[in-house]
A and B are shown apart, each in its own frame.
Chain A
C-alpha cells in the first residue's frame, strides 16, 4: 500500500490541485497544513526549502507541477496515452502563462498601484489567455466539455482552481467565455469533487 503525504500551508494556493486530484481519485493521504510560524522550523526538511512537497513512500518530491502530474498519472487523470498527456501538459502550461502574469500583481503592496495593475491585467492581458484556453479546449476536447479527449484530467482541475482567483477579480468574467464556463460547471458536478468542495476548509486564498 503506497503512502502519500502532502505538505503545504493552510491555504489553497499551490497545493489545492493536488488535493482536488486526491479527491477525484478517492485516494487517502495525509493533508499536512503548516501555519506560517510552524513552517519556519520545517523549512530545512524540504529539498528546496519550499512547499508544496509530496512525500511518496517516504521520498520527498518538490515543485507543484511535478507533484500534480505524478498524482494524475498514478490515478489515471493525466490522459489516456502519451500524446493525450502532452495535450494535457500544453493546457496546463497555458494556464500557467496566464496566472504567471497575475501573481506579481497580487504581490504589489501599494493598494492604488495594485488596483491599476489589476485593471490593465483584466483589459489587456487576460482576454488573450482565456481565448487561447478556449482554443485548446475546442482543438483537443473531442467536442466535449473537458479540455482533452472527453475525459476529466488534471488540466480541468487546474483550470477550475486557478479560475477561482480570476473570479475574485471579476465574477462575470466567464460570461464571455461559454466553453470555459461549461467546463467549470462540469468539473463541479463530478460527485467526488462536489463532495470535496462542500467540505474543504475555507481559507483566504
Chain B
C-alpha cells in the first residue's frame, strides 16, 4: 500500500480535486496545509518551488493536473479504458480553459478594473466555455449526468470544485446551464462526497 502525502496551502484551490478523489476512493492520505507565512520556508523543498505537490512513497510529483490524474487512475476514477480516459482529459482541458480567465479577475488590485474584468469574464467569456462543457457532457455522457460514460470521474470532481469558486463570486453563473447544474447536484449526492463536504475545513479559497 503506497503512502500518500499532499502538500498545499490551507485552501481548496488547485488541491481540492485531489482531496475529493481521496474522499470518493475512501483512501487515507496526509493532508499537509501551509498558511501563507509558513510556505516560504518550504518552497525550496518542492521540485518547481510550487504547490500542490504529491509525495508517493517519498517521491515528489508537482503539477495539480498530473497529481489528480495519477490519483484518479490509482482509484479507478479516470475512465474505463484509454479512449474514455482521453474523453475525461478533454473535459478537464476544457474546464481549465474556462478557469484561465478567472484568475486575473481575482488578483487585480485596482477595484474599478477588477469589477470591469469580472463583469466581462462572467458576461462574455465564461458562458462560451460552459456551453462547450455542456456539449461535451451530452456527447460523451451516454445520456447520463456525468461528463463521461455514465460514471463519476475526476472531470466531474474538477468541475465541481472550480464551479464553486465561480458561484462564490457570481451566484447565478450556472442558471442558463441546467445540464451542468444537474451534474454538480449528482456529485454532491454521492455519499462519500456528501460526508466529505460536511466535514472539510471552511476556507476563504
Residue of B nearest to A56 (CB): B83
Contacts of A86 in B (CB 8 A): 61, 66-67, 69-70
- Asked if residues A83 and B85 are in contact (CB atoms below 8 Å), the reply is no
The answer to whether A184 has its CB under 8 Å from any CB of chain B is: no
A105 CB, nearest partner CB in chain B, Å: 16
Contacts of A87 in B (CB 8 A): 61, 66
Give chain B's interface secondary structure class. Answer: helix
Residue of A nearest to B69 (CB): A89
Chain B: interface residue total (CB-CB under 8 A): 29
Complex: A87 Cα to B65 Cα, angstroms: 11
- Asked if residues B89 and A63 are in contact (CB atoms below 8 Å), the reply is yes
- Asked if residues A132 and B48 are in contact (CB atoms below 8 Å), the reply is yes
The answer to whether B150 has its CB under 8 Å from any CB of chain A is: no
Interface residues of A in 45-83 (CB under 8 A from B): 47-48, 56, 59, 61-63, 65-67, 69-70, 73-74, 82-83
The answer to whether A11 has its CB under 8 Å from any CB of chain B is: no
Q: Which of B20-28, B116-124, B132-140, B184-192 is the contact stretch?
A: B132-140
Contacts of A67 in B (CB 8 A): 86
Interface residues of B in 54-84 (CB under 8 A from A): 56, 59-63, 65-67, 69-70, 73-74, 82-83
- Asked if residues B61 and A63 are in contact (CB atoms below 8 Å), the reply is no
B42 CB, nearest partner CB in chain A, Å: 16
On chain A, which size bracket covers the interface? Answer: 20 to 34
Could you say which of B59, B63, B73, B139 has the most chain A C-beta atoms within 10 Å of its C-beta? B63
Interface residues of A in 73-123 (CB under 8 A from B): 73-74, 82-83, 85-87, 89-90, 92-94
Contacts of A70 in B (CB 8 A): 82-83, 85-86, 89
The answer to whether B47 has its CB under 8 Å from any CB of chain A is: yes
The answer to whether A139 has its CB under 8 Å from any CB of chain B is: yes
- Asked if residues A90 and B66 are in contact (CB atoms below 8 Å), the reply is yes
- Asked if residues B87 and A61 are in contact (CB atoms below 8 Å), the reply is yes
Interface residues of A in 124-156 (CB under 8 A from B): 132, 135-136, 139
User: A63-B90, A73-B82, A74-B82 are contacts. A82–B73 as well, Cβ < 8 Å?
Assistant: yes
Contacts of B135 in A (CB 8 A): 47-48
Residue of A nearest to B129 (CB): A48
Complex: A86 Cα to B54 Cα, angstroms: 11
The answer to whether B10 has its CB under 8 Å from any CB of chain A is: no
Q: List 15 A-B contacts (CB under 8 A).
A: A47-B132, A62-B94, A63-B89, A70-B86, A70-B89, A85-B70, A85-B73, A86-B61, A87-B61, A87-B66, A89-B69, A90-B47, A90-B66, A93-B63, A132-B47
8 closest residue pairs by CB, A with B: A70-B86, A86-B70, A66-B89, A89-B66, A63-B93, A93-B63, A66-B90, A90-B66
* Known A90-B62, A132-B48; 6 more pairs at CB < 8 Å: A48-B136, A63-B94, A69-B89, A70-B82, A70-B89, A90-B61
List the interface of chain A (C-beta within 8 A of B). Answer: 47-48, 56, 59, 61-63, 65-67, 69-70, 73-74, 82-83, 85-87, 89-90, 92-94, 132, 135-136, 139
